[in-house]
Structure 1
Amino acid sequence: MRAFGKLTAAVLVAGTAGWVGLTAGEKGITVASLMGMARMQLAVLMGNDAAAMPGVDAPQAEPIGPVIYWRHPDGLPEWSSSLRQTADGRVFLPVLASEDLSLGPAPEPSTEMAMVETGERTILYYRNPMGLPDTSPVPKQDSMGMDYIAVYDGEDNDDGSVTVSPGKLQRSGVRTAEAVLAPLAATWRAPGIVELDERRISVISLRADAFIETVANVTTGSMIREGAPLVTLYSPEIAAALAQFLTDVRSDGRLGEGARQRLENLGVPGEVIDRIATEGQTTVSIPIMAPRSGVVLERMAVEGMMSEAGETLFRIADTSTVWVIAEVPEAALMEIVVGAEVRVSFRGLTDGPIPGRIDTIYPEVDMMTRTC
């Protein structure tokens, strides 16, 4: 065929395809009918017999799958997600999944489609098209007119469970245990700080003016035992009371009771008073002993200083029992009571948690952290 003839044939084919497409859009003609009409038009234009033209019709498979949307019966560009009618009362036509036009690459046939075609699957129930937790044993529509979607045997694996990968489980520290019948107990974890028990702190001070002669070899942080000497001092007032006590003991034992009481009121240790009464000799230097075992929190005594009555020389705390001030959430107040057992863990200790008991619950809640 000459070049002019080929060009003329191409123009005729393009014109025929345009005319056929326009006619199909207006009258809703199927793809198979379009192919037949195109073949006849080409035969007329080219002067050939339509029957001699090569056939292009292919067997059309029955549409399958759920309803995707609804289209205008006349092929107009109008679609709907639910069943509706045209202005003149005609019903929109359903478009099934196999009829939906896709401009991308054809998807691979799924197992579901193959099973539907062979008729091997069984419909279990119908689910809500919007994903709501509503099912039906028979076909139905929702309030918007959308058809419920069939759920086939083998698809019913959406039980609402959440699956977490083993890696995330390990990073999150998730632990599993065998289910057993046991009392239900709640465990609360709370941060805390260690503080001294205020009831186990002692202050060493004098009840009369005195001069400090010697101070024990201790400093802040030193451990000390109960009864260990802390300082020796000289007090004119205490020395006068000791002399009066010794005189009363020598003259009349009954008078010595009053003098002894005065010495005790001045803070003279009882063993010092007994030794003077036994030996019959007074002393100038009076020792002051530690009232309890513990750690020295504060040392204010210095050799040679004069201490006035009431002035603090030492502060000692017994650390055998301490407080742990824990910030417990407000929601736990209904479950914790005074006397309940607790376990305290310290980062610096590797011996395991230390047992304890709840001693006090403060009657206040922090407004910012909502803890008590």
Structure 2
Amino acid sequence: MNNKFDIKSIAKIAGLILIGLSLGWLLFGGAPDQPQSLDEHIEQVHTDEEGNVIYTCSMHPSIRENEPGNCPICGMELIPVSEDGAGEESPYELTMSEAATKLADVQTSKVIKDVAVTSHLLPGKVMVDERRLKTLPAHVPGRIEELYINFTGEYISQGERVASIYSPELVSAQKELLEVAKDKERNPSLYKAARNKLLNWDITEAQINQIEASQTVMNNVDIISKVNGYVINKMIEVGSHVQQGSTMFKLADLSKVWVMFDAYESDVANIKVGDNVSFTVEALPGEQFSAKITFVDPVLNAQSRTVSVRAEAENSDLLLKPNMLTQGRIRSDLSSRGEQILVPKSAVLWTGERSVVYVKKPNTTQPTFEFREVVLGQRVGDQYIVKSGLSEGEEVVTNGTFKIDSAAQLAGKASMMNKTPDGRPVRTGHEGHTMEGSGNGSDEGSMSSMSSSSQRTQSSNINAPQAFKSQVAQLVASYIDFKNALVSSKPDLAGEEVNSMQYDLKQVDMSLLDGQGHMIWMNQLDSLQTALTQLVNTQDLAKQREQLMDLSNVMLNVVKTFQIEGVYYQQFCPMASNGKGAYWLSEKETINNPYFGEQMISCGETIERIENQ
């Protein structure tokens, strides 16, 4: 009986257990929509085949690690791969996290359709209006006995005495006049001829009447000016012997002046007679002057690749002095061409022959950027005309572009460094070279602090003619002198070297280049001209050091791309540009910091030794 009871009890307990297990499976294990815990979700979505959680870098999505830590590229903390990152993506698109876009300071602007307005910044110089130059000559030979105008710059009024002259011819003519005057009633024609002889020698009617009235011959006769103006050249001294027709003074009317500008070849098409130009001079900070263009030289200077543009400016208050350096800006709209698609200059990445932008995709759960090739027209101020590749209203990246491109490169997607998925090379650079700089977290710092124009890292090295290399080598030498002047904190000396760089740049004959080399130099030339224009009219040490960044980036590209002979060092200061970091090119390995001078003379490091044979 006890055994029977035990068997029945065990059977009942087993049955109850089986029923409980079945109900548990139906209620929990078999429910297809039952939510999981957070830990279970991470293990299911973020694990590999062996069950390990996968971690990545928000800035470098190509990084895949099996354990948490820091990114081996930028040092950021790794995060689990998100579910949104799974799935097949277009090889032209890059998805980044919100945190990554904020860290890269990614900013976008909408593509607009509007009338293009050109703006050109041109260096210039105030000059005398050649039509207002005057000469005060000697009309009779003789010796200068006295000068009433004694220095250059003095103003001569019409009718004013300028000098006293002894002339035997004048003495004889006076005697002749006194003789014929005695018989002028009977022989008026002879009397008139004697007076006209003196008048033709610029002796005034008043002087002639005085001679007749006094009946005395004047040994020294005053020379009276028939013109007025400022003396720009004094050609005589007391005791000088002058010949008939020789110049005594050169005068200029400065109530109107010319302002001569140098327009670069790429700007000439948008400059025409009648355009207004505003300009400033360093001697009068805050003063704005205006002039109207009256002449554009039809001939291009073969050496400097510039065209002379002449403007006329009112100068009644004489604030503008001949030979003052000016900086002018010409603005004109291209309304005749109608409205056009315009993209900010900072959005464009240059790949040698082609141009690309990153377009932000709309309606995505995470920021997604598309690599897009575009065809550009001319540059108009801070924008480019877009011929194809973009539509009005699309958003393009204008800041942080190179961060996005670097992430795309590391993810194996279309970028400036990688080939596009169809196999075309977008950009080939120096082996092992990336745009990550020294790992500085900011966009400007890690991208060599380049501006959009100077970030045009070129394609492969160019085998340029030796004559071209020699011309550029002189430009590089002047840049080195400019850099060294900033090391010594000598703004005056730095200003002189800027003038030397401008001169050397004009001596570079880019007609020696052809094909890709010519196109690359044109890009670099634009950046050089912009940087030097900002420097030419300032001797402010802080401004000079600020402009050194863009100038240095271009010079580094030039030395590497065109293989300028010599040994150079690419050096980097992490403290420059408010902690963003900046590069410079040096002729020696020892660190002499041009951004801080003696304050932090040894701050920095050598990034690369550049040696070209």
C-alpha displacement of 1:329? 1.6
In structure 2, what is the equivalent of residue 132 of structure 1?
Answer: 92
**RMSD of equivalent CA atoms:** 4.5
Q: Identify unmatched segments of 5+ residues in structure 1.
A: 1-58, 69-94, 117-122, 134-148, 167-175
Cα 1:367–1:229 change in 2 (3 A) is same
Instruction: Tell me whether 1:369 sits opposite 2:301 in the alignment.
Output: no
Instruction: Tell me whether 1:215 sits opposite 2:147 in the alignment.
Output: yes
Cα 1:369–1:104 change in 2 (3 A) is same
Cα 1:281–1:344 change in 2 (3 A) is farther
C-alpha displacement of 1:209? 1.6
CA contact (8 A) 2:46 2:82 kept: no
SS of 1:356's equivalent in the other structure is: strand
Residues 46-70 of structure 1: per-residue CA shift (max 9 Å, x gap): xxxxxxxxxxxxx99995479x9xx
In structure 2, what is the equivalent of residue 349 of structure 1?
Answer: 284
Name the CA distance, whole Å, in 1 between partners of 2:281 and 2:132: 22
Q: What TM-score do the two structures reach when normalised by structure 2? A: 0.33
Name the CA distance, whole Å, in 2 between partners of 1:220 and 1:238: 28
In structure 2, what is the equivalent of residue 295 of structure 1?
Answer: 230
SS of 1:327's equivalent in the other structure is: strand
Residues 31-59 of structure 1: per-residue CA shift (max 9 Å, x gap): xxxxxxxxxxxxxxxxxxxxxxxxxxxx9
In structure 1, what is the equivalent of residue 541 of structure 2?
Answer: none
Map 1:1-372; keep pairs closer than 5 Å. 64=45, 104-105=66-67, 110=80, 112-113=82-83, 127-128=89-90, 131-133=91-93, 164=105, 185-250=117-182, 251-252=184-185, 253-276=188-211, 283-350=218-285, 352-372=287-307
Q: Identify unmatched segments of 5+ residues in structure 2.
A: 1-39, 56-63, 70-77, 308-613
Name the CA distance, whole Å, in 1 between partners of 2:79 and 2:286: 64
**Which stretch has the larger CA shift, 248-257 or 341-350?**
248-257
Name the CA distance, whole Å, in 1 between partners of 2:300 and 2:103: 37
Name the CA distance, whole Å, in 2 between partners of 1:261 and 1:203: 23
Name the CA distance, whole Å, in 2 between partners of 1:162 and 1:105: 23
Residues 314-340 of structure 1: per-residue CA shift (max 9 Å, x gap): 222222222222111223322222233
C-alpha displacement of 1:365? 1.4
CA contact (8 A) 2:147 2:237 kept: yes
Q: What TM-score do the two structures reach when normalised by structure 1? A: 0.52
Residues 241-263 of structure 1: per-residue CA shift (max 9 Å, x gap): 23334444551444433333322
C-alpha displacement of 1:229? 1.2
C-alpha displacement of 1:304? 3.3
SS of 1:232's equivalent in the other structure is: strand
C-alpha displacement of 1:349? 1.0
CA contact (8 A) 1:299 1:315 kept: yes
Q: Which has the higher helix share?
A: 2
SS of 1:226's equivalent in the other structure is: coil
C-alpha displacement of 1:360? 2.3
Cα 1:63–1:295 change in 2 (3 A) is same
Name the CA distance, whole Å, in 2 between partners of 1:188 and 1:161: 34
Cα 1:157–1:127 change in 2 (3 A) is farther
CA contact (8 A) 1:242 1:282 kept: yes
SS of 1:360's equivalent in the other structure is: strand
SS of 1:331's equivalent in the other structure is: helix
CA contact (8 A) 2:54 2:66 kept: no
Q: Which has the higher strand share?
A: 2
Name the CA distance, whole Å, in 1 between partners of 2:102 and 2:272: 38
